Amino acid sequence: MSAQRKQKAFVLLKVEPGHERDVMNNLMEFDEVREVHIIPGEWDIIAVVEAEKGIVVSSDERVYDIVLDKIEKTKHVQDTNTMVSHFSKSK
């Protein structure tokens, strides 16, 4: 297990109609993006992002850097909403 704390976040994306698969494929090019799902409803895609805490930068800051510098600049992305997980359990 790594000594560094990893931060998981869920990023909802609105994309230009008809470009959901293009955005999905582009997001998977980013190392920090672990999963991408096309979903029905108000938002088009949900991406699972995982960021490690750096020496000077917190993991929360890294998540927002990834969203602002990579995800929001992805072609056909119109809007995002980021939810950061503080506690989680899984099987």
| 72 dihedral zone (left: phi>0; alpha: psi -120 to 50; beta) | alpha
Residue 2: predicted pLDDT: 46
pTM above 0.85, yes or no: yes
pLDDT of 8-52, one tens digit each? 999 999 999 999 999 999 999 999 999 999 999 999 999 999 988
Q: Is 57 contained in some domain?
A: yes
Residue 1: predicted pLDDT: 39
Q: Is 38 contained in some domain?
A: yes
What's the CATH number where 23 sits?
A: 3.30.70.920
Residue 57: predicted pLDDT: 61
Q: Is 91 contained in some domain?
A: no
- Structural domain boundaries, residue 17: 6-84
Number of domains in the chain: 1
Going along 4-91, which residue ranges are E strands?
6-15, 33-38, 45-52, 77-84
